[in-house]
Structure 1
Amino acid sequence: MGSSWVPWVVALLVTVVRLDSSMTQGRDAPEDFVIQAKADCYFTNGTENVQFVVRFIFNLEEYARFDSNLGMFVALTELGQPDAELWNNRPDILARSRASVDALCRHNYKLGAPFTVGRKVQPEVTVYPERIPALQHHNLLLCSVTGFYPGDIKITWFRNGQEQREGVMSTGLIRNGDWTFQTMVMLAMTPELGEVYTCLVDHPSLLSPVSVEWRAQSEYPWRKMLSGIAAFLVGLVFLLVGIVIHTRARKGPKRSSSSTATLRS
């Protein structure tokens, strides 16, 4: 909400609510009550179609509203009938309320658009299998796309360059709560040696689509890592055994020499 029009809308709402003297005079009103006025702007295709709505609420019940599409105040309950009639007979209030479509809504849209509808954040794309991969065993490939804005995004799976439509599942668009989104698109597959799976992501923040590949291999990194660790441990054991044998071999002659020196004395 732009700071330039905050005092304007507050003045409008206060003026309208003050006219509602019938709410608390001449009626069986409770000792404690709350009167609220809420203003909303609704946009379609940018500012092509703009609707300005002010809702008037008495103790959590909306009793009247102004709708710019109608250009007048409307009573929603019996309580709001005299008030809507009173406000509709005030040309100054009607004129300012109708002008709010441009003075408030369209003006505020121009101020906030660069930080809202114009905001673009590139996605982060990661591809990985659900389980430890093994050739000719059913698995799921997960394409995780996180931290992007806006929510308009297209994610496509390819197998050896051919688009995959069967076996594709999605979590749908998930809001992160910080003006970004995330989603995950899964592909059911049975990998064969040499196959290449590609997750292609197209988003308004990207100059060109981003693709991340996953290749089916006979030896996977985790196996190589385990083999390396095993070889290291075996080498370490042999090294320790060698050090122990060497140390004992050096201690043996020293004890023999010491005994000989004692006998000579």
Structure 2
Amino acid sequence: MGSSWVPWVVTLLVTVIRLDSSMTQGRDSPEDFVIQAKADCYFTNGTEKVQFVVRFIFNLEEYARFDSNLGLFVALTELGQPDAELWNNRPDILARSRASVDALCRHNYKLGAPFTVGRKVQPEVTVYPERIPALQHSNLLLCSVTGFYPGDIKITWFRNGQEQREGVMSTGLIRNGDWTFQTMVMLAMTPELGEVYTCLVDHPSLLSPVSVEWRAQSEYSWRKMLSGIAAFLVGLVFLLVGIVIHNRARKGPKSSSSSTATLRS
């Protein structure tokens, strides 16, 4: 929000805080109250169509607003009627409000577009079954797509080159809180030996769609792979234990020789 906009909205708020007139006339004056002004810019097709809206809020109730599509201030409650009439009769305030479509919205759009509209982050794609697969047993194949921006993404499942539409489920877009998204698209399947499942991901950050395959293997192949992983982990543990024992053995003689030297002296 441009700094030039601040004095203008402050002027409007000062005219609003007239507790002895429109806000409290015929009412009990509250001990505590909050008056807010919230400005929003709405963009369609870049800056082809821009709408500027300022909402004026008394405590939790929006009582008046300026809408650039109308070019006027509008009272939303009885409380906002005097203020809307006052501002609409001020040519300087109306002109400043209408000019904000260009001076505020379009100006700040150009400044922020490279970091928002123009920002593109490629997704990371992983495919894996929900549980250890067994041939001819129902399972879910998960296509996890993470860390991408913008949120416009298309994910398609294929089985042996044929697009799959039945049994497809999605978590929808999930915001990560760091201006990236993640999603997961699941395919219900009953794998047969040799079948190839493909998750195809198309995103604006990619020059061409990314595809990740998963092949249905026999239970023997899966057990062999898991056995290999287990053997690797066991070997790694023995290696680490060996390194620790070796390091301690090297430190032992040094300690003994230093003790002997002390006794001789």
Identity of aligned residues (%): 97
In the alignment, the residues of structure 2 paired with residue 260 and residue 114 of structure 1 have an alpha-carbon distance, to the nearest angstrom, of 72
Q: Residues 134 and 21 from structure 1, CA distance in 2 versus in 1: closer, same or farther, beyond 3 angstroms?
A: same
Is the contact between residue 153 and residue 203 of structure 1 (CA under 8 Å) also seen in structure 2? yes
Bigger mean CA deviation after superposition, 112-121 or 240-249: 240-249
Is the contact between residue 144 and residue 184 of structure 2 (CA under 8 Å) also seen in structure 1? yes
- What is the CA distance between 1:36 and its match in structure 2? 1.5
- What is the CA distance between 1:177 and its match in structure 2? 2.1
Q: Residues 91 and 18 from structure 1, CA distance in 2 versus in 1: closer, same or farther, beyond 3 angstroms?
A: farther
Is the contact between residue 2 and residue 112 of structure 1 (CA under 8 Å) also seen in structure 2? no
Q: 2:235 aligns to what SS in structure 1?
A: helix
Q: 1:150 aligns to what SS in structure 2?
A: coil
Deviations 1:51-93 (A, max 9, x none): 1111112222222111111111111111211111111111000
- What is the CA distance between 1:8 and its match in structure 2? 5.7
In the alignment, the residues of structure 2 paired with residue 158 and residue 128 of structure 1 have an alpha-carbon distance, to the nearest angstrom, of 14
Q: Residues 95 and 220 from structure 1, CA distance in 2 versus in 1: closer, same or farther, beyond 3 angstroms?
A: farther
Is the contact between residue 20 and residue 83 of structure 1 (CA under 8 Å) also seen in structure 2? no
Bigger mean CA deviation after superposition, 207-216 or 60-69: 60-69
Deviations 1:72-116 (A, max 9, x none): 111111121111111111100000001011110111111111111
In the alignment, the residues of structure 1 paired with residue 215 and residue 140 of structure 2 have an alpha-carbon distance, to the nearest angstrom, of 13
Q: Residues 75 and 167 from structure 1, CA distance in 2 versus in 1: closer, same or farther, beyond 3 angstroms?
A: same
Bigger mean CA deviation after superposition, 81-90 or 200-209: 81-90
Unaligned ranges ≥5, structure 2: none
Q: Residues 111 and 3 from structure 1, CA distance in 2 versus in 1: closer, same or farther, beyond 3 angstroms?
A: farther
Is the contact between residue 201 and residue 209 of structure 1 (CA under 8 Å) also seen in structure 2? yes
RMSD, aligned CA: 8.4
Q: 2:17 aligns to what SS in structure 1?
A: helix
- What is the CA distance between 1:125 and its match in structure 2? 0.4
Q: Residues 37 and 18 from structure 1, CA distance in 2 versus in 1: closer, same or farther, beyond 3 angstroms?
A: farther
In the alignment, the residues of structure 2 paired with residue 82 and residue 109 of structure 1 have an alpha-carbon distance, to the nearest angstrom, of 33
Count residues with an aligned counterpart. Answer: 265
Q: 1:257 aligns to what SS in structure 2?
A: helix
With normalisation by structure 2, the TM-score equals 0.78
Q: Residues 5 and 240 from structure 1, CA distance in 2 versus in 1: closer, same or farther, beyond 3 angstroms?
A: closer
With normalisation by structure 1, the TM-score equals 0.78
